[in-house]
Every structure is written in structure tokens, then in C-alpha cells.
């Protein structure tokens, strides 16, 4: 894949300008670090704790990805059930909406109590719960909007339901699926961090944020935020890359 | 002569929330092997329902559908379908769209043989060299040509066309009519064409069947004896003009308008 230099330079320039502005703002207002830390305070924190950052970033990352994977499997499954059957759609949709409407911040402490000490499990579950809704809705919509002509052509040839699903319905929902996955990635990330912050003796970047707060190490808290942003960007672009590979036809030919 | 398609006294009703909706009522239709039957009728009278019965996608409440001496009781691999919407898959090339039926009907056929078959059809419809394009890179008429190729790629006995040219402009439509005649000259299939265009029915059909308004019965059958392939001028002959007038009158009867209009005159 060829990447135009502008595609890399432009975002870097954007980053630099925002960073400088941030530095200037803090300097101009003479804010102490507990109000707002400047990039020059935050930078050294990465160097001081680079080992912790590496380990905790990894923990946050894999748990988010694990939650997402489960969300993809379960979300796609629900989406298939709802997209292929009117009755199941009517039965499941209100449930899903209700489930999604519950603020996850309230579920976090419940989960933490329900499975005390199961840090990995709890975190993954929250990441999953928060992110599977958009996936199932998008798959359901993609499947239920399949033109009946496709089905007739294949069915008149004696194709099974599975063949029709595999050859037509599934590929056809991929653009919607990836659209939803982009939203889900960010959501899963929020879920992971919520749990990491709330759980005592937790792990991951959320925990590092929490220890920054306990020790009044404000620059560290800001450093964690930046690390989270970087991880979020990285995950998002992984999804964009997968989208290019598997649903590039939809990106290339918007109709 | 044996008929490849025979529809005997078929009656069907859809079950809707407001109760049964009768769409076909004692419909009769017979198309000889390699024949071309054009079906016209008022909008919503049950023409698409008829095609679904022939394809074995559904079964009539009463009466029988016979294909090639066998009663239709399940979908058959010997049917090809094309619709007003060409429904080509955007993630496949034109070539891979056309070979899709072969993936289902003849999974063991080699990739090379599939491509060869598709290339031959593409050449026949004037799409030589477009196999590697994506559907969105083609014009509406070209997509409809590709859709015709897909419906014929597995050498079906029966070709079902549900208003395939309905959405095209008049010039493109006439081009495709001629393509249709070329396909008939090169390939062997028995066709049922649903159309709203009487000129199309006369130019393409060996037989034009007029259906009554819903529930549809066979109201009128006209034989078109002109040898195929036909020049487009055929439509302007005195005999054709007369046939068109007769069909137009029959359609008006089917719509329930003709007797009233005659009384007014
Ligand atoms: N699956 C279905 N369930 C209930 N009613 C249906 C169904 N499919 C079609 N109908 C109704 O049956 C009637 C005939 O439908 P059909 O599609 O066969 O008509 P048509 O002659 O093809 O119409 P058009 O000229 O608009 O293509 C219509 O009134 C339609 O609303
Ligand atoms: Mg129709």
C-alpha cells in the first residue's frame, strides 16, 4: 500500500501545533501542574515510568482487544438472528436497546463486586458489553436490507440458506460492520479504562491513572491520558486497515 | 409438440394480515421448447408471482406447474433469472458476478472453464474485455447485459426475465432487444419475459400472453409468427401495428377501462 507523505506529515504538524499551543497556554496562564500540566511536564513522566507504561499499555490493549473480539462474535451472532428473523428481531431489539441504555459506569462497580478479584475477566466483560451493541445493530440492518432479488437468484439454483448468507449477505454487510467496529473500538477502550480505574489493585493504564491521582502526580495523569489517546488512535487505524482489506470495494466506490 | 413450460389451471392467494389476497386465478400458460413467451398485464396483477412459481421458489395453492415433463416441487438448477434491478455484487468483478451461478450449480467445474464460458457470453452481449471491471464502473445498460450473462451462464433450460429492460432508456432498450435475439440464436433456452412494453413483447415474443387484472387469468394469447432474429423494422410493418393495437385493446380490457371507453365514444 502506498502512503502519500502528506498523509503522515499533516497529522504530525497538527500534533505539533496543538502541543505548542498547549505549552503556551499553560505558560501564559502560569497554571500550576495540579490545574493543568504542560507537555514539558508530561514528557519526562513517560521517561520516568517507561517500563510501567509499556506493561500497563499492553494490559489495557490486550484486554480491550479481547473484549472487542467477544463483542464481534456475540454482536454478529445477535445481528444475524435479528437480521434473518422478524420474530427474533422484535423479541431482541428492545432488550438490546435497554441493555445499551444503562450507563456502563453503573455496571462497572456491579461487575467488580460480582466477580471479585477477576480483574482480567471483569475488564474484558465491560469492554465487551459496552461495544457489542453497535455491531449487532449494524449486522442486523445489513442483513435485513438485502435485496430479495439476490435471494431469488441463488435460491432458484438450489443454494442453501447458508450459501446465500456466506456468498452474499455476509460480504454485503461488511461496510456497515466496519462502520460499527470503528465506533465499537473506542467504546471498548472506554469500557476497559472504566474498570481499570474502579477496581482496587487493578492493572492497566486506568490503574496508572488512579495511582497518579492518589499520589497527586498530576503530570503522570496527563501522561496516561496521552498514552490512552495514542493507543486509541492505533486501534482505530488497525480497524481502518482491516476495512480497506476486507471492504475496500465499498470505500473505493461510494454510491 | 411438447411444451417445456406448462402451467395448468394455477390459482394462488397470498396470506396477508387482511386475509387472503387472490393473485392468480385458473391461469394457463404453455411455452414450447426454445420458445419465447412475453407476458403483459396490468401493474400488480401477479406477473412476478407467476415467475416465482415457475422458478420453484413457491408453489401454487391449486393447479400445476410443469417444466420439461416434471412437476415443479422444489427450486431447480435449470432456471436462470434476471430482474429489472441487475443486482450485481459490488465486491466481485463482472467476471466473478457472472460465474456466481456456476459456483453453486457446478462447484467442481474448473475456474478456467468457468471463465471461458463467461468470456463467451460477454462477447455475445458486447461486453468483451469488461470482465475485470466492477459493476459500478458500468452503465445501466451494460449492467443489465452482465445480468443477462449471469442468468445464462449455467445453460439453463428456462430463462425468466422480470422486466429486465424496464429501467433503461428507449435506445438502450432497443439495443438490448437485439442482443436478446442474438442470444437466442446462439444459445438454447425457453423464455418467459414479463414486460410492460407492448412493442417489446411483439418484437421479442413468439407468443404474447395478456393477463387480466388481479387475480390474473390468461385473458388473451397472440402468436407472433415472424421468423427470428427479427429486424427492428419489423415493428413498423402494418401487421405489427395491427397486433399492437389489438394488444393495447386487450390491456385496456384487463385494466377494466376498455368497455367504458367504448361506450363513451
Ligand atoms: N409476499 C407477498 N405477500 C403478500 N402479498 C404479496 C406478496 N408478493 C406480492 N404480493 C401482492 O400480490 C399482488 C401481485 O404481486 P406481483 O408482484 O406478482 O405483481 P406484478 O404483476 O409483478 O406487479 P408489477 O407489475 O408491479 O411488477 C400485488 O398486489 C402484491 O401487492
Ligand atoms: Mg413484478
Q: Enter the ipTM.
A: 0.82
Alpha carbon of A40 to ligand 1 centroid (Å): 71
d(CA A159, CA B105): 8
Which is it for the CA torsion B224, B243, B179, B168, positive or negative? negative
d(CA A214, CA A182): 33
Residue B108: predicted pLDDT: 93
Inside any domain, residue A71: yes
Inside any domain, residue A17: no
Chain A nearest-CA residue for B86: A149
Radius of gyration of chain B (CA): 19
Inside any domain, residue A50: no
- Chain B interface, best mutation among A86, A148, A150, A157, by max B CB count within 10 A: A157
Q: Which residue, judged by its Cα, is nearest atom 10 of ligand 1?
A: B14
Inside any domain, residue A179: yes
Which parts of chain B fold into alpha helices (H)? 47-54, 94-98, 100-105, 111-124, 140-152, 170-186, 198-204, 238-254, 258-264
Which parts of A85-169 fold into alpha helices (H)? 86-101, 104-114, 119-144, 148-155, 161-164
Inside any domain, residue A20: no
- CATH number of the domain that residue A209 is part of: 1.10.3720.10
pTM for this structure?
0.82
Q: pLDDT-derived band of residue A1, with 50, 70 and 90 as boundaries? A: low
Return mean pLDDT, chain A: 87
Which is it for the CA torsion B197, B198, B201, B204, positive or negative? negative
Residue A67: predicted pLDDT: 94
Q: What is the pLDDT along chain B (265 residues), one digit of tens a residue?
A: 578 999 999 999 999 989 999 999 999 999 999 999 999 999 999 999 999 999 999 999 999 999 988 888 888 889 999 999 999 999 999 999 999 999 999 999 999 999 999 999 999 999 999 999 999 999 999 999 999 999 999 999 999 999 999 989 999 999 999 999 999 999 999 999 999 999 999 999 999 999 999 899 999 999 999 998 899 999 999 999 999 999 999 999 998 886 645 544 4
With b for 16 or more beta-carbon neighbours within 10 A and e for fewer, the A211-242 pattern comes to bbeeeebbbbbbbbeebbeebbeebeeebeee
Residue with cell 408471482: B49
- Using one digit for the tens of pLDDT, what is the confidence trace for A139-172? 988 888 888 898 899 999 988 888 888 899 889 9
Inside any domain, residue A98: yes
d(CA A71, CA A172): 20
Ligand 1 binding pocket, CB closer than 6 Å:
B 14, 16, 21, 23, 43-49, 214
Alpha carbon of B214 to ligand 1 centroid (Å): 9
Residue B263: predicted pLDDT: 42
Q: Do residues B90 and B146 lie in contact, with contact meaning Cβ atoms separated by under 8 Å?
A: no
The verdict on a CB contact (< 8 Å) between B55 and A247 is no
Residue A119 pLDDT > 50: yes
Residue with cell 420453484: B56
Domain count, chain A: 1
Structural domain of A162: 57-248
Inside any domain, residue A3: no
Inside any domain, residue A134: yes
Amino acid at each position: 500500500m502506498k502512503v502519500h507523505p502528506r498523509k503522515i506529515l499533516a497529522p504530525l504538524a497538527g500534533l505539533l501545533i496543538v502541543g505548542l499551543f498547549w505549552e503556551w497556554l499553560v505558560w501564559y496562564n502560569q497554571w500550576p501542574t495540579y490545574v493543568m500540566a504542560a507537555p514539558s511536564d508530561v514528557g519526562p513522566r513517560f521517561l520516568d515510568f517507561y517500563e510501567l507504561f509499556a506493561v500497563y499499555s499492553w494490559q489495557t490493549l490486550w484486554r480491550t482487544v479481547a473484549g472487542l473480539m467477544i463483542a464481534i462474535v456475540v454482536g454478529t451472532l445477535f445481528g444475524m438472528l435479528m437480521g434473518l428473523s422478524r420474530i427474533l428481531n422484535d423479541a431482541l431489539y428492545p432488550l438490546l436497546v435497554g441493555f445499551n441504555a444503562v450507563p456502563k459506569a453503573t455496571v462497572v462497580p456491579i461487575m467488580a463486586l460480582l466477580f471479585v478479584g477477576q480483574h482480567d475477566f471483569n475488564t474484558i466483560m465491560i469492554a465487551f458489553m459496552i461495544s457489542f451493541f453497535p455491531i449487532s445493530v449494524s449486522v442486523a440492518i445489513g442483513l435485513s436490507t438485502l435485496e430479495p432479488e439476490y435471494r431469488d437468484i441463488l435460491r432458484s439454483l438450489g443454494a442453501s440458506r447458508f450459501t446465500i448468507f456466506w456468498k452474499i449477505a455476509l460480504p454485503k454487510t461488511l461496510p456497515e460492520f466496519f462502520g460499527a467496529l470503528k465506533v465499537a473500538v473506542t467504546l471498548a477502550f472506554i469500557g476497559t479504562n472504566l474498570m481499570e480505574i474502579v477496581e482496587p489493585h487493578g492493572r492497566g493504564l486506568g490503574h496508572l491513572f488512579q495511582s497518579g491521582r492518589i499520589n497527586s502526580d498530576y503530570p503522570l495523569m496527563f501522561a496516561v491520558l496521552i498514552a490512552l489517546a495514542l493507543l486509541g488512535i492505533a486501534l482505530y487505524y488497525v480497524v481502518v486497515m482491516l476495512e480497506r482489506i476486507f471492504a475496500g470495494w465499498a470505500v473505493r466506490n461510494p454510491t | 409438440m411438447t411444451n417445456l413450460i406448462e402451467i395448468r389451471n394455477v390459482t394462488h392467494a397470498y396470506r396477508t394480515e387482511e386475509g387472503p389476497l387472490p393473485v392468480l386465478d385458473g391461469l394457463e400458460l404453455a411455452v414450447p421448447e426454445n420458445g419465447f413467451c412475453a407476458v403483459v398485464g396490468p401493474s400488480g396483477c401477479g406477473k412476478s408471482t407467476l415467475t416465482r412459481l415457475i422458478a420453484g421458489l413457491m408453489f401454487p395453492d391449486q393447479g400445476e406447474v410443469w417444466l420439461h415433463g416434471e412437476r415443479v416441487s422444489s427450486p431447480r438448477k435449470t432456471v436462470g433469472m434476471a430482474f429489472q434491478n441487475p443486482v450485481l455484487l459490488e465486491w466481485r468483478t463482472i467476471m466473478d458476478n457472472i460465474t456466481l451461478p456456476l459456483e453453486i450449480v457446478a462447484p467442481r467445474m474448473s475456474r478456467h472453464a468457468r471463465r471461458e464460458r463467461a468470456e463467451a457470453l460477454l462477447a455475445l452481449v458486447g461486453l468483451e474485455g469488461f470482465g475485470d471491471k466492477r459493476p459500478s464502473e458500468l452503465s445501466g445498460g451494460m449492467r443489465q447485459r452482465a445480468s443477462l450473462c449471469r442468468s445464462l451462464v449455467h445453460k439453463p433450460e428456462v430463462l425468466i426475465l422480470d422486466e429486465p429492460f424496464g429501467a433503461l432508456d428507449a435506445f438502450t432498450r432497443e439495443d438490448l432487444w437485439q442482443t436478446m435475439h442474438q442470444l437466442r440464436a446462439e444459445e438454447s433456452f425457453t423464455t418467459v419475459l414479463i414486460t410492460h412494453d407492448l412493442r417489446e413483447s411483439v418484437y421479442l415474443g413468439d407468443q404474447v400472453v395478456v393477463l387480466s387484472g388481479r387475480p390474473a387469468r390468461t385473458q388473451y394469447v397472440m402468436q407472433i409468427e415472424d421468423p427470428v432474429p427479427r429486424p427492428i423494422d419489423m415493428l413498423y410493418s402494418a401487421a405489427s401495428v395491427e397486433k399492437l393495437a389489438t394488444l393495447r385493446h386487450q390491456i385496456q380490457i384487463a385494466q377494466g377501462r376498455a368497455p367504458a371507453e367504448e361506450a363513451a365514444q
